[in-house]
Amino acid sequence: MIQALGKMGISTFGWLGRCCIFLVYVASGFFIALKNWRDLIAQLYFVGVLSLVIIVVSGFFVGMVLGLQGYNTLVDFGAEESLGVVVSLSLVRELGPVVAALLFAGRAGSALTAEIGLMKSTEQLMAMEMMAVDPLHRVIAPRLLAGIIAMPLLAAIFSAVGVYGGYFVGTGLLGVDDGAFWSQMQAAVDFNGDVMNGIIKSIVFGFVITWIAVFEGYDTAPTSEGISRATTRTVVNSSLAVLALDFVLTAVMFD
Q: Interface with other proteins by CB under 8 A: which residues?
A: 38, 41-42, 44-45, 48-49, 52, 88, 92, 150, 152-154, 156-157, 159-161, 163, 182, 185-187, 189-191, 194-195, 199
Task: Give the residue with the Cβ less far from other proteins, 154 or 242.
Answer: 154
To other proteins, the closest distance from the beta carbon of 190 in angstroms equals: 6
Supply the minimum distance, in Å, between the C-beta of residue 189 and other proteins: 4
- HSE toward the beta carbon, residue 18, CA cutoff 13 A: 14
Nearer to other proteins, 104 or 215 (CB): 104
Task: Give the nearest distance from C-beta 49 to other proteins in angstroms.
Answer: 5
Rank residues 41 and 173 by Cβ distance to other proteins and give the closer one. Answer: 41
* Distances from the Cα of 135 to the Cα of 5, 8, 19, 119, 154, angstroms: 34, 29, 16, 10, 27
Minimal distance, residue 160 CB to other proteins, in Å: 4
Contacts of 223 (CB under 8 A, 6+ apart): 121
- Report the nearest approach of other proteins to the CB of residue 102 (Å): 18
The per-residue b/e assignment along 101-117, b for 16 or more CB within 10 angstroms, e otherwise, is bbbbbbbbbbbbbbbbb
| Concatenated DSSP letters of 61-124 | HHHHHHHHHHHHHHGGGT-GGGHHHHHHHIIIIIIHHHHHHHHHIIIIIHHHHHHHHHHHHTTH
In angstroms, rounded to a whole number, what is the distance separating the alpha carbons of residues 209 and 104?
8
Nearer to other proteins among residue 124 and residue 228 (C-beta): 124
Q: Is the dihedral of CA 100, 198, 47, 22 positive or negative?
A: negative
Of the two residues 140 and 185, which places its CB atom closer to other proteins in the complex?
185
